[in-house]
Amino acid sequence: MTRPSIFSRFLKADGSLPLARQLSLTLALIFVAATLVAGVLLHVIFSAQASAQIERQSQFFMDSMLAVREYTSRQVNPIVAPLNDQGTEFRPEAVPSYAATSVFSYLRSNPAYQSFSYREATLNPTNLKDKADGEETQIVEAFKADPSLKVLSGNRTMALGTFHYVAKPIRITKASCLVCHSTPERAPKSQLLTYGNSNGFGWGLDEIVGAQIVTVPIEEIENARHQSLVITSGLIIVAFTLVGLVTNAVLKRLILRPMRAMSLKADEASVTPGTVEFGERRRADEIGLLARSFERMKQSLVISMQMLKDRQP
């Protein structure tokens, strides 16, 4: 009775396929299934890693800018502010926002950070270059609408590609800010000479006036993710192909070749058992076992044939 091969379901095979072909097909099926599963898993893992990397990078960037602001507020402003009160020339170095955006512009002159951006987008800014654009205004409005919101992040598609942004609200928490941002009368005269008296005023304590927005390009990280996916998938395919080739070669050498040889010898033994030798019987494995059985059968055949011959008159 022939047992149905595992392919009978897929290929309607009834063992008529050579073993090597059956093995190749099994391996091919396992290979395709494993590659699909691995591909999906790798995609998920690499995507999560890329997102985490983009988020970390944006967050680090934002924190660095906050540190620059803090340094200017605490250490530079006390030294420079008196100059602004006396002179006719305004020294913007005293302004935390100016320090942060200036440090950023130096950072950006490094080609590695060319497509990064840092903005202190404000609805009613002192320096008009800080005026919030359409999307930035939406972000600021979202912070104003929900004061408990500490951070917003997402992707922004712009002319130069897709960018990830992280935004934090700018809230006026110190009364000292209002010296320059409440009414033109309170602001240093030197500031009015440089920035005029029509914008950047009327801010109130605890009011959210704008948002710090950091954008980092995601193209590079996405490309790196894509590359990792292609390389890893390629390695998996190479590994599977090698396993398939080696398994096939081993199967041929250890099982198929000796089986075919034994089958030829068994054919020959059915006619002239005395001349046939099953050399494979010296093997310790199952092929050796089979060869020893054939050898015993051959011996019995030799004896039977001899007895038949002796009985003949």
Residues at the contact surface with ligand HEC, assessed by CB under 6 A? 73, 81, 84, 92, 94-98, 101, 120, 122, 125-127, 130, 170, 172, 174, 176-177, 179-181, 188, 191, 195, 200, 209-210
Q: Per the structure block, which two tokens stand in for 200?
A: 């950047």
Centre a 10 Å sphere on the Cβ of residue 174 and count the other Cβ atoms it contains.
10
- Per-residue DSSP letter, 3: P
CB of 128 to ligand HEC, least distance (A): 8
> Is the Cβ of residue 130 or residue 295 nearer to ligand HEC in the bound state?
130
> Is the Cβ of residue 24 or residue 97 nearer to ligand HEC in the bound state?
97
Q: How far is CA 284 from CA 287, 288, 289, 291, 292, in A?
A: 8, 5, 7, 10, 10
Question: In terms of DSSP H, where are the helices of 109-254?
Answer: 134-145, 178-181, 189-195, 219-251
CB of 183 to ligand HEC, least distance (A): 13
Note whether 84 and 104 are within 8 A (CB): no
> Is the Cβ of residue 22 or residue 212 nearer to ligand HEC in the bound state?
212
CB of 229 to ligand HEC, least distance (A): 41
User: Which of 207, 147, 202 lies closest to 180, judged by CA?
Assistant: 202
CB of 154 to ligand HEC, least distance (A): 21
> Is the Cβ of residue 5 or residue 84 nearer to ligand HEC in the bound state?
84
> Is the Cβ of residue 206 or residue 286 nearer to ligand HEC in the bound state?
206
User: What is d(CA 287, CA 291) in angstroms, rounded to the nearest whole number?
Assistant: 6
CB of 219 to ligand HEC, least distance (A): 28
